[in-house]
Structure 1
């Protein structure tokens, strides 16, 4: 767009008149962009209070001193740099009724790790899930006090977070993938529950009832909105849903996040400042971020990077994997497919159709009225194994 203002031109009354097409965009960026509008509408001390309140909610943590031997970021063509954000879900199961997958104890864990990649041209975004049961060679990292945490061969992916928090998970990710991270975000799962409630619940299609009397879970089949502890248990549950695998749980989490994204950018949230502020309050209160995202304006700027990406271009996949030959209850990354995924992400190239099989997008939710349905039998089986509607 030119900076110079165009000269005034008188309209030609004889020219045929056309109405331009109205472009409808529902994008994640609108959520954080509208935060600025909300702040602008709240005058005087209210603006200052809201801005300070949201900023004070955010926990900022600098992991740089705990990391070493970091890969270089590949220079690619584009109006901006590609963005790589590692999202980790922190879940403390020491509370009463939280041990729904027999993992109580040991403090906070990270059973959800998703790389969010936004392309340099801001035309596509991938959320790539890494199974917590993946067996990997964990590199050495450091505690916040600078003490060395020795590396180890053939350990579960989520052990890094338990030993050294987000910094060790980031070190592990960079060393195993060759992808340089720009930011990280840790989302507290109990705070995640408040985010769901702030948008009035998240709609999911559930093919069969989910019943677990020991933990008070009784979710009826059908398309319904999940709220509160029910929603939290849905994204935590494993053995009582689908085929009981961790990959099935990840796919449900992908579908849930995609559906929540859809809910957040819908008019039901954007048109109601009260609901939007509740959502932002819950979201910021649930976050731990790096200094590059230390306040609501910087987080909003990250959200604005999504403004030209439609919901169908926000795609969630799982890193290719197979059962571990040494233990059928564990996974290993499929090669060379997994390396191909990380190479393409590092070089900001689109994933091939074969590498991005079994995709869930925020604009094509399983079981929804807008769903195009599974593309093949393998996709249908994956949805069934995850306990999702086809």
Structure 2
């Protein structure tokens, strides 16, 4: 099909939508017609999920489609994987990454060596009916046994024992990260989404910031964050500093950072819901352009149409319908900067997700937390 005949998301009032622009109005104002539903942006972070939805057609669709990077996870992993769930639920591995190159060098605080690592990892379990979700954060410093894996370039990487979880991504990229999570949980990851540091920062700025309340002063020179106790609307740089800080709150561990990430994700979801459908065609385009440049998805989600459909399935999940936990762990007796999996408790989590049931409170009772809970909340 040609660009003129292919249906796809466009920008309300812009080329290819075939209708007049919506007039400016209140934040919660509904669109005037079904054709002008707009473009819904859902950003899920630390990390983040960034997805798009909309209607229309035109050259803008093809430009946005060309922004999206995709990786063929299924081909790399082959058939030796956990079975797909048959209960209507979905599991998505979401990573926040730092390429250590170009614009990410300053944000990551590392050398411009072209390497990559994952600072944030979340398993997002969307329950049957897509009305609620469970999010399980995996500490990057968890000591695990990494399985042999093949990356998307066809290179095979040997198994390794007693290594940090985030070594999977730095060793073999997206495919090895998915392989490691599936080995750890025995749960099939239906999709993969990755957002880089620079894209995350720009997206928050395009959204106009995210309001949060802090109960304590947060000072962390390493993440370039300085916040007094109180209510703030965080811009992109501040939001990035918040989800990366570990020395300014709690016990200074990665677990405390995860608690901040989870609180920010809920605040971000609330903010996106609050903004509703934007009525400015330029604003819609700027958000869509930033989001699609920031995201890397598995090949099944690697187009605007696919992300649009995926977004439609998540739009009813508010922060009040999200349960967020950290994978049950305890501090490693040999190194307090590392954690090890509490296998029996973690199994309760994986069993619940497999059966599409709520995660029991007993799964996280008595596990290491990071002592940063309640420091940040939605404003």
Shorter-chain TM-score above 0.5: yes
CA distance in 1, matches of 2:108, 2:130: 40
CA distance in 2, matches of 1:158, 1:165: 10
Change in CA separation of 1:105 and 1:380 when aligned onto 2, cut-off 3 Å: closer
Instruction: Look up the match of 2:218.
Output: 210
> Displacement, 1:142?
1.4
Task: Pick from 62, 74, 80 the counterpart of residue 52 of structure 1.
Answer: 62
1:92-107 equivalent positions in 2, closer than 5 A? 92-93=99-100, 97-100=106-109, 107=115
Q: Does 2:376 align with 1:388?
A: yes
Instruction: Look up the match of 1:91.
Output: 98
CA distance in 2, matches of 1:96, 1:351: 38
Change in CA separation of 1:67 and 1:379 when aligned onto 2, cut-off 3 Å: closer
Post-superposition Cα deviations, 1:347-383, rounded to whole Å, max 9, x if no partner, equal 222222333679xxxxxxxxxxxxxxxxxxx999541
Bigger mean CA deviation after superposition, 63-72 or 177-186: 63-72
Q: Does the 8 A contact of 1:32 with 1:300 survive in 2?
A: no
Q: Does the 8 A contact of 2:149 with 2:172 survive in 1?
A: yes
Q: Any idea what SS the aligned residue of 2:270 has?
A: helix
Aligned-pair Cα RMSD in Å: 3.1
Q: Does 2:340 align with 1:335?
A: no
Q: Does 2:144 align with 1:136?
A: yes
Unaligned runs of 5+ in 2: 1-27, 31-37, 43-50
CA distance in 2, matches of 1:313, 1:103: 40
Instruction: Look up the match of 2:40.
Output: 31
Post-superposition Cα deviations, 1:320-353, rounded to whole Å, max 9, x if no partner, equal 1111122221111113110110111122222223
Unaligned runs of 5+ in 1: 1-23, 41-46, 359-377
CA distance in 1, matches of 2:309, 2:359: 26
Structure number with the higher strand fraction is 2
CA distance in 2, matches of 1:334, 1:30: 42
Post-superposition Cα deviations, 1:108-147, rounded to whole Å, max 9, x if no partner, equal 1101111111112323211110000111110000133323
Instruction: Look up the match of 1:231.
Output: 239
Q: Does 2:312 align with 1:324?
A: no
TM-score (norm 2): 0.78
> Displacement, 1:273?
4.7
Q: Does the 8 A contact of 1:122 with 1:306 survive in 2?
A: yes
TM-score (norm 1): 0.76
Bigger mean CA deviation after superposition, 86-95 or 195-204: 86-95
Task: Pick from 54, 75, 82 the counterpart of residue 86 of structure 2.
Answer: 75
User: Larger Cα Rg: Structure 1 or Structure 2?
Assistant: 1
Q: Any idea what SS the aligned residue of 2:120 has?
A: strand
Change in CA separation of 1:389 and 1:117 when aligned onto 2, cut-off 3 Å: closer
> Displacement, 1:238?
1.7
Q: Any idea what SS the aligned residue of 1:98 has?
A: helix
CA distance in 2, matches of 1:237, 1:104: 21
CA distance in 2, matches of 1:329, 1:244: 9
CA distance in 1, matches of 2:75, 2:246: 36
**Matched residues, number:** 331
Change in CA separation of 1:303 and 1:389 when aligned onto 2, cut-off 3 Å: closer
Q: Any idea what SS the aligned residue of 1:181 has?
A: coil
1:160-199 equivalent positions in 2, closer than 5 A? 160-199=168-207
Change in CA separation of 1:379 and 1:161 when aligned onto 2, cut-off 3 Å: closer
